[in-house]
Amino acid sequence: MKQLEYAFMAKLAIHIKEQLRKGVKKPYKTIIDVSFGDPHKAGVKPLTFARQVIAACTYPKLMNSDKLPLDAKQRAQWLLDRCPGQSVGSYTATAGIPETVHKISAFITRRDGGAPSDPKNIFITAGSQWALMNILNVLVNKQASPRTGVLTPAPGHDKAVLSIVGMGGETIPYYLTEEQGWALQVEELQRALDSAQGVCKPVALYVINPGNPAGHVQSRKSIQEVIRFVSEKRLFLLADEVYQDCVQGENTEFVSYKRVLNEMGPPFSETVELASFHSVSKSVMGECGLRCGYVELVNVDPAVMKHIFTLFSKGSCSPVLGQIALDVMINPPQPGDPSYTLYNQETQHIRDMLIQNAKRVYEVVNSLPGLSCQPVDGGAFAFPRVFLPPKAIKKAKDLGMEPDTFYSVRLLEEAGVFVRPGCGYKQKKDTYHIRFCIMTPRDMMDELLGRLTSFHRKFMMDFA
């Protein structure tokens, strides 16, 4: 039902755009679409070096041009030499270009303070969600009785929940603590686990760090507690870490589950089964349309690894242009390279934009009566709570809508701002939220917040 409501909003947005194109007068001239985490769609510029390498790989004659820097040409040639027939139109190895897989392994080791990473445990995939679905396909037994259960965060990524349910599994929501910046509490994990008794058999815990949609970043202590919990309960740990590049909170840093697991030492580092996901879509690179990411598996039984490899092989290889972007992401230009200065300027600009947008959202939203937003320490989304008046809730129910869907539809119709209602993310009962992407140019964010402010004040007065 909630997915149908979002589909209705998407159709409404298309209808409004068509009206605007035909000259129908509205209080706004354009729709600001922040319903998805698609930075390029929002106007964030692609990274020059990545596009130069991709362009040269697609049309190798560009390497004879003086318009590309030397390191872009060299990287493109290096990658083409590793594509069969020196063409991006050919299949690569199922797990990805072998040398790029080794680069990912080296990247993980650098990121994680020297923690060993075996290339044989890394698979390049057609996006992180594709990899997650295939791992879930191994964990979820469709014929099992009772059904297989997976602990999932609430609020959390809706596609993961749909995948589990679609495979015949059961989602076991554990609620993040909004009042504490959407913190993950082990006590809540235990409550969720207890609630599954007699309903399903829990086999895995899914975590999103940095959070989507909540925007929290787990501390090292929090991660340690989660690792101890899954170790004690014998749960497979699924760590969605695709927003690891996007950390904007003061005194906040991303620490991977793999790193903390390695630091904890035996028995944890030798027994806890872990799958960690990353993507070119949700990094600072923001190449959503190229559909590429990777998964690293840790402490997984060799027989299970063989089965996973067989599942991944059914899809041949991930898109080669995506693999090229991934190669750039995990091994960008270094100091002294011709492209380093520009690459560093562009990535820093995006990070500064995220920091400024997160601060601005926090300040503006919390200044409005009836809205409350936790700090967006990481990720690409704000998830403010909307304290809807009773009259608005009644009106929504009379129309057969979830209350925050009603608010979001009115926001789209009256202010031209397209957000997603919180009801699609498993929020606590009788709480209402909206989710919107903050990885947008600053002028767009200022316009969005201006429209939201005007709309919200009028909405609250209309239903006072």
Retrieve residue 140's tokens: 């979820």
pLDDT of residue 3: 57
Q: How far apart are CA 259 and CA 240, in angstroms?
A: 14
pLDDT digits (tens, 9 = 90+) for 81-131: 999 999 999 999 999 999 999 999 999 999 999 999 999 999 999 988 889
8-state DSSP, 203: E
Local structure of 105: helix, strand or coil = helix
Q: How confident is the model at residue 431 (pLDDT cuts 50, 70, 90)?
A: very high
8-state DSSP, 172: E
Lowest mean pLDDT: which of 304-308, 414-418, 450-454? 304-308
- The order of strands in the sheet holding 381-382 is 381-382, 434-437, 420-421
Q: How far apart are CA 142 and CA 131, in angstroms?
A: 19
Q: Which residues contact 42 (CB under 8 A, 6 or more apart)?
A: 33, 34, 437, 439, 440, 441, 444
pLDDT greater than 80 at residue 6: no
pLDDT of residue 157: 83
Closest to 133 in 3D by CA, of 166, 104, 105, 101: 166
Task: Round to the nearest angstrom and report the end-to-end CA distance of the chain.
Answer: 28
Give bridge partners of residue 28 from the DSSP assignment. Answer: none
Q: What is the CA radius of gyration of the chain?
A: 23
8-state DSSP, 91: -
Lowest mean pLDDT: which of 138-152, 362-376, 427-441? 138-152
382 or 164, higher pLDDT:
382
pLDDT of residue 350: 96
Average pLDDT over residues 190-201: 96
Average pLDDT over residues 338-367: 97
Do residues 151 and 205 lie in contact, with contact meaning Cβ atoms separated by under 8 Å?
yes
Q: Which residues contact 319 (CB under 8 A, 6 or more apart)?
A: 126, 290, 291, 292
State phi, psi for 415 to the nearest 5 degrees: -125, -5
pLDDT greater than 80 at residue 444: yes
DSSP-derived pairing of the beta strands 200-208 and 385-386: unpaired
Q: Structural domains in the chain?
A: 2-44+344-462 (3.90.1150.10), 93-329 (3.40.640.10)
pLDDT of residue 1: 45
pLDDT greater than 90 at residue 15: yes
pLDDT of residue 336: 97
Give kind and range of the element (H or E) at residue 149: strand 147-154
Do residues 87 and 57 lie in contact, with contact meaning Cβ atoms separated by under 8 Å?
no
Give kind and range of the element (H or E) at residue 125: strand 122-125
Average pLDDT over residues 290-305: 94
Give kind and range of the element (H or E) at residue 293: strand 293-298
Do residues 345 and 117 lie in contact, with contact meaning Cβ atoms separated by under 8 Å?
no
Average pLDDT over residues 395-415: 96
pLDDT of residue 2: 53
Average pLDDT over residues 137-166: 88
Average pLDDT over residues 39-43: 93
User: What's the residue count for the chain?
Assistant: 464
- Integer CA distances (angstroms), 290 to 40, 156, 326, 346, in order: 12, 24, 10, 19
257 or 309, higher pLDDT:
257
pLDDT digits (tens, 9 = 90+) for 241-262: 999 999 999 999 999 999 999 9
Q: How far apart are CA 448 and CA 456, in angstroms?
A: 12
Do residues 297 and 274 lie in contact, with contact meaning Cβ atoms separated by under 8 Å?
yes
Cα-based angle 437, 434, 457 (whole degrees, multiple of 5):
110
Q: What is the overall mean pLDDT for the chain?
A: 95
Do residues 256 and 276 lie in contact, with contact meaning Cβ atoms separated by under 8 Å?
yes
Q: How confident is the model at residue 388 (pLDDT cuts 50, 70, 90)?
A: very high
pLDDT greater than 90 at residue 188: yes
Q: Per the confidence metrics, is the pTM higher than 0.85?
A: yes
Average pLDDT over residues 269-275: 97
